[in-house]
A and B are shown apart, each in its own frame.
Chain A
Amino acid sequence: MIMVAFLLVLLIGSFMAWAAERIHRGAARWISLAALVCNFVLAVGFWGRNYRDAGLINKGVWLQEVNWDWIPALGIRFHLAIDGLSLALVILTFFLGLASVACSWTEIRERVGFFHFNILWILAGITGVFLSLDLFLFYFFWEVMLVPMYFLIGIWGHENRNYAALKFFIFTQAGSLLMLLSILGLCVLHHNDTSIWTFDYQSLLGTPMGAATAFWLMLGFFIAFAVKLPMVPFHPWLPDAHTEAPTAGSVILAGLLLKTGAYGMLRFAVPLFPGAAKQLAPVAIWLGVAGILYGAILAFGQTDLKRLVAYTSVSHLGFVLVGIYAWNGWALQGAVMQMICHGLSTGALFIVVGALQERIHTRDTRRMGGLWTVMPRMGGMVMFFALASLGLPGLGNFVGEFLVLLGAYRVNRSATVFGTIGLVAATIYALAIVQCAFHGENRGGWMPADLNLRDVTVLGFMVIALVWLGLYPQPVFSTVTPALEGLKQLVAM
């Protein structure tokens, strides 16, 4: 029931936030903040009740399950289930949701109610994606997060928002329609085999099919997820969408939306088509490595600070792709760790950059410089998150990247060697952020206000989380490992 509660709180909150705008402008912010705090507390409480050092209490495969009739005529069910993997990502969702509401507190001044309506709907869609086990329901939530995100970029975005929103929508929709075809193909195969119509994940696992069919169906899923992830060459929507979106949009895009692609691969694309996934693995790993290097090189070449951070996502998510398709214990744990830490570090970078833009109204690094002396708190924060992003030992990202490389080394040595170069490249672009914007001479004569208490609180929580994940990541591993082991049992690569 807790899963239904998550969704209901978000949806009811969204309508209340929209309606509250008429009464008081700030009310919408407080309502969406309250809804997210409520969900975050619920989720963490749920985790606390189930967590043991040795791993989650696992009575079955799932910690909790909801399975209701929805459209019986087509065998579609409202089937939600939560395991350690979903739980970790759901907690991340609410955490970043809180951060994104907080960081848009003063940035969004127009149509506040509708803004928060969209934010909560996106979060509801993402939560649904992480929880649903019926493929129709999964697709449904997959699309639900798309439309409000389109509005978020299209209405509150920056200069080139319409172009970016359109590109985002078309790319992801093209991918997801291919996935829909694959879902239907899979269900028809299952129907021909058993003459039962079902979209249930567990029933569809292990559907017998020819190698060629499996490959094509798998490709439909894979492309949809690869667009979201994003994997090179399906990434062109990402820099535009991230750059043009308002800060909250960028945080959610980078921190959560990209993770749905990775989650989809972990949960669906690989386990549903084990043989085909194995065939694809070497290609996927090399594409992941290509993403790591390509993203890093492009990030270094950017002069738009937001665009720079956006390209680092391409690079970081390359590690996740490598980790998933290496498909062994270390690599998978590393991939999940990387997902969580990338969400925190990149989300935080977007918040800082957003705050910077709110103050000096530019994102152009060529016009910045010497900001450390005028805003030391912001400089320190950027420094910290840049270091996290480049994979400094002691912070969470290092754990993720290190484990991915460790796991991948056993599968594909040459690719891993190239992937490791990505760590060096990360150092260059991460330090470039700090150097261009905060060191040197203050040529622009900027005198902006430093970060205020609200910003410092939000970022402070993210700092604590990253340090905690870097020094003592065991709780996360204990939480996700049973789920990952379960997935590994389904597929032997």
Chain B
Amino acid sequence: MERVDLIALLPIVIMGTTSVVVMIVTAFCRRYGLTTGLALAGEVIALASISLASSYAPRQVTPLLIVDRYGLLLTAILLTAGIAVLALSHGYLRTMPGNREEFHLMLLLATLGSIVLVSSSHFASFFVGLEILSVSLYVLIAYPMRNRSLEAGLKYLILAGASSAILLFGIALEYAALGTMSFKQMAANATGPSVLLLAGFALILSGLGFKLALVPFHMWTPDIYEGAPAPVTAFIATVSKGAVFGFLLRYFTSMHGYTEGSLFVILTAVSIASMAIGNLLALMQNNVKRILAYSSIAHLGYLLVAFLSSGDSGVSASIFYLVSYFIGVMTTFGIVTLLSRVERDADGIEDYRGLFWRRPWLAAAFTASLFSLAGIPLTVGFVGKFYLLAAGVGSALWLLVVVLVITSVIGLFYYLRIIVALYSPVPSETGAKVLPLSPAMAWLGGLVVAALMILLVWFGIYPSTILQALQQTLL
């Protein structure tokens, strides 16, 4: 291992070091502010080190990890999202009795796992990354020790364990068929379609489908979104899914999965089912977090449309959509977090009634983020959806794009339901229960939401900067 290898790995190394430092500091000196500061500083430095690492890309570092432009781009996206979650959770945990420091440690570790995931070029490193991510998430989900969150943590533990087993089985079958676990050699060894290989592929897709909450592996999503503390829900919806999707895209392209007709059919079916079921089931929910859970199922279905579009436009559309989804979801959950406190999340639609007349900025930001998720212009979500449709139409995936259009019209219903509540008259104090919402705005979280809002509108009106950056990175 040379010095250059270490520089190329800097983001991972820094994240690992920060985790250890935070762990040791917590052991000796429990100071909430200090831990937050350290964790944030670590992530920011890791983010900054990407530019250093990128000068050596692409580089294969050991057989396990690859540092290339694609991986670094995703690393940057994931780290930024990680920073946002960290900043949001700072205010959220303020009032929590007991130990709060480990929460940040777990967040750091989960982010580390996600970065390893998108940099892996070998099933061994992939699995290590995935498990770091999952195990940290078990803890994070159950962290506030509310009944709901304990239940959610346990559910996630069991289901993620089961999905890991399926995944491992798939990996084992691939290994049996090809005799190697490195993607590059697997692609070289794969000579033609074989049953073993196909079965392995299908099992791996099922395992990843669990993590991505694609239909029919979506059952866990609403319960865990509802039970997990709001910033963790944001993390699951963005970083966890984004990393797994980034890995799937890399694995699929390197294995030439597109040439396999049956996989294409399966993924098309999964995409259609996710869009339809996600949007339809969201209509029946009264809990904002559950609505967003189903909406994220639908969004992953949309994302698969770009995934299935062939060629470079498909890849850059996927990444752009991922970014727009990240911004939209992070803003939404950021606002939910700002209004929540650790004892109770602001997740009923009733909690948002008349918010515009009480806190206009927050409500305006919430509206914008929901419009972004719905794909209405002036927001980044529209450009994302536009790019997605362009990729789909360009690859003549007419069935998928028509389903996408129909289901996103259905999706409007539930986004508008929340928006209607925001602008309704303020409920009279006597009739409705008085809301135990977060009284003061947490400044760090407020800053994050403000920054996200600026991105959301800026990329929505003038997306060419990010589009050019994407095309330069990926081509």
Contact = CB atoms under 8 A, between A and B. Distances in A.
Interface of A: 69-74, 136, 139-140, 143-144, 146-147, 150-151, 154-155, 162, 165-166, 169-170, 173-174, 177-178, 180-181, 184-185, 187-188, 191
Contacts of B386: 136, 180, 184
Contact of B468 (A73, A162, A181): A73
Given A143-B382, A180-B386, A184-B389, A73 B471 contact: yes
Contacts of B471: 73
Interface in B456-475: 462-464, 467-468, 471
Given A178-B405, A184-B389, 19 more contacts: A69-B464, A70-B462, A71-B463, A72-B464, A73-B464, A73-B471, A143-B382, A154-B423, A165-B420, A166-B420, A173-B409, A177-B405, A177-B408, A180-B405, A181-B393, A181-B402, A184-B386, A184-B393, A188-B390
Interface of B: 371, 376-378, 382, 386-387, 389-390, 393-394, 401-402, 405, 408-409, 412-413, 416, 420, 423, 462-464, 467-468, 471
Nearest to A143: B377
Contacts of B462: 70-71
B412 A170 contact: yes
B252 to A, nearest CB: 23
The 7 closest A-B pairs by CB, nearest first: A73-B467, A184-B393, A143-B377, A71-B464, A177-B405, A174-B409, A140-B377
Nearest to A155: B423
Given A143-B376, A177-B405, A166 B416 contact: yes
Given A166-B420, A170-B413, A184 B390 contact: yes
Nearest to B402: A181
Contacts of B423: 151, 154-155
Given A71-B464, A180-B389, A181-B393, A169 B416 contact: yes
B144 to A, nearest CB: 35
B464 A147 contact: no
A392 B314 CA distance: 58
B56 to A, nearest CB: 27
26 contacts: A70-B462, A71-B462, A71-B463, A71-B467, A72-B464, A73-B468, A74-B387, A74-B390, A139-B377, A143-B377, A147-B371, A150-B416, A154-B423, A170-B409, A177-B409, A180-B389, A180-B405, A181-B393, A181-B401, A181-B402, A184-B390, A184-B394, A185-B393, A188-B390, A188-B393, A188-B394
Contacts of A72: 464, 468
B288 to A, nearest CB: 18
Nearest to B394: A188
A144 B377 contact: yes
A177 B402 CA distance: 10
A187 B393 CA distance: 9
Contact of A70 (B376, B401, B464): B464
B73 to A, nearest CB: 16
B168 to A, nearest CB: 41
Nearest to A18: B360
A150 B462 CA distance: 24
Contacts of B409: 170, 173-174, 177
B412 A181 contact: no
A272 to B, nearest CB: 16
Contacts of A173: 409, 412
